[in-house]
Amino acid sequence: MDSSSAVASTIVKNWRERPPSTYSLKIDNFSQLENSTTVSDDKYQSCPFTSGGYNWRLIVYPKGNEKDDGSGFISMYVEIDSKSLMVFTPPTEVFAELRFFVYNKKENKYFTIQDLEVRRFNALKTVWGLQQFLPLDTFNDLKNGYIFEGGFCEFGVDVIVASPLTNWEILSFDEKLSEPKFSWAVKKFSELKGHVYRSDCFSMGGREWVLELYPKGASGSDGKWLSVYLSLAAGDTLKADEKIFRQGHIRVLDPLGSNHIEDETKRWVDESKKSWGWVQFLSLAELRKTYLDKGDTLNVEVEFEVVSATKFSTII
């Protein structure tokens, strides 16, 4: 067996009254256990047991695992049944926390070593454990209480299998939009009578958007301002708790091309707030003076710089 042992910096030793919750191995004659392992590669393998839906075995080296620097110690390992890893394609990886036990009759408690490092079991690494669990001199000395009643002793292990990842989120930011600009020519602006006008829907960052224009201003503009909003299109619905970050600029273009009016839009969009803009984007007096071309057309443009996207697991 190659080195499959925890290093000293990742283990914690303590005592506890509660017995192992995963598996207990009770032996009525430790010396005979030692004797029997001389013909089984110096180790005893327990019967299979289950934890987290996988099959395991507890492995005890009563004289230490010399091949893993365990000479002079009790060595303890757990091994996952490799067949249970092959149920899926590709083969499963299992992450587990390990705690090893030996009962002490004198203390009436379990001496416990916990491996703080969560161990990864896979087809290439099926065994993890402690090559130097307890010195043999300490264990074999009857005064210490690990062996009692004529050779009785108890080993154990807790194998706590981490549940597969089911809750996740991937947040990405698209900064290289293929066509970052959308232009809207609002014709015969001076003749518009409606309260609000909407552009055609346009795609940006994988979502559908629309510009909203209030020729005489939205509520709170006193009828003296052009109001402009950027909204997620009505047909583009967001999932519960989904949100989108968008950043860019909205402009009213100067027909002469020298003095565009623009402002930055940088907002998180969610289902409760799909629209955001400016009540007082541009005064109507300045608009009529400078920003209508000879055909009475107002040109509005939005240029996106960043649009986020989120993929996440579904809450069941």
Q: What's the average model confidence in pLDDT over 128-143?
A: 96
pLDDT, position 123: 87
pLDDT band at 6, cuts 50/70/90?
low
Q: What's the average model confidence in pLDDT over 207-234?
A: 92
pLDDT, position 34: 95
pLDDT, position 162: 85
pLDDT, position 1: 47
Beta bridge partners of 134: 74
pLDDT, position 227: 96
Q: Say how far apart CA 266 and CA 263 lie, in whole Å.
A: 10
| Whether the predicted pLDDT of 119 surpasses 80 | yes
Which range has the worst mean pLDDT, 1-5, 102-106, 263-267?
1-5
Q: Say how far apart CA 196 and CA 199 lie, in whole Å.
A: 10
Beta bridge partners of 183: 301
| Whether the predicted pLDDT of 90 surpasses 70 | no
Q: Say how far apart CA 290 and CA 13 lie, in whole Å.
A: 80
Tokens of 275: 């629209």
**Of the candidates 82, 95, 5, 1, the residue with the CA atom closest to the CA atom of residue 52:** 95
| Cα atoms in the Cβ-side hemisphere of radius 13 Å centred on 296 | 6
For the chain, the average pLDDT equals: 92
Q: Is 218 left (phi over 0), alpha (psi -120 to 50) or beta?
A: beta
More confident residue, 181 or 162: 181
More confident residue, 83 or 77: 77
**Of the candidates 246, 247, 252, 258, the residue with the CA atom closest to the CA atom of residue 281:** 252
Beta bridge partners of 273: 270
Q: Say how far apart CA 181 and CA 209 lie, in whole Å.
A: 12
pLDDT, position 89: 57
Question: Which residues, including other chains, have CB under 8 Å from residue 280's CB and lie 6 or more apart?
Answer: 217, 221, 225, 227
**Of the candidates 134, 132, 2, 128, the residue with the CA atom closest to the CA atom of residue 56:** 128
Q: Say how far apart CA 160 and CA 118 lie, in whole Å.
A: 9
Q: Say how far apart CA 177 and CA 158 lie, in whole Å.
A: 52
Going 225 to 226 to 228 to 233, the CA torsion angle's sign is: positive
pLDDT, position 92: 79
pLDDT band at 223, cuts 50/70/90?
confident
pLDDT band at 84, cuts 50/70/90?
confident
Question: Which residues, including other chains, have CB under 8 Å from residue 286's CB and lie 6 or more apart?
Answer: none
Q: Say how far apart CA 306 and CA 180 lie, in whole Å.
A: 9
| 238-283 confidence digits (pLDDT tens) | 888 899 999 999 999 999 988 999 999 999 999 889 999 999 999 9
pTM: 0.67
| Whether the predicted pLDDT of 316 surpasses 60 | no
pLDDT band at 219, cuts 50/70/90?
confident
Q: What's the average model confidence in pLDDT over 202-213?
A: 95
| Whether the predicted pLDDT of 58 surpasses 50 | yes
pLDDT, position 258: 83
**Of the candidates 187, 184, 189, 214, the residue with the CA atom closest to the CA atom of residue 199:** 184
Q: What's the average model confidence in pLDDT over 48-54?
A: 93
pLDDT, position 88: 61
pLDDT, position 7: 56
**Of the candidates 15, 79, 88, the residue with the CA atom closest to the CA atom of residue 51:** 79
Q: Say how far apart CA 279 and CA 263 lie, in whole Å.
A: 12
pLDDT, position 157: 98
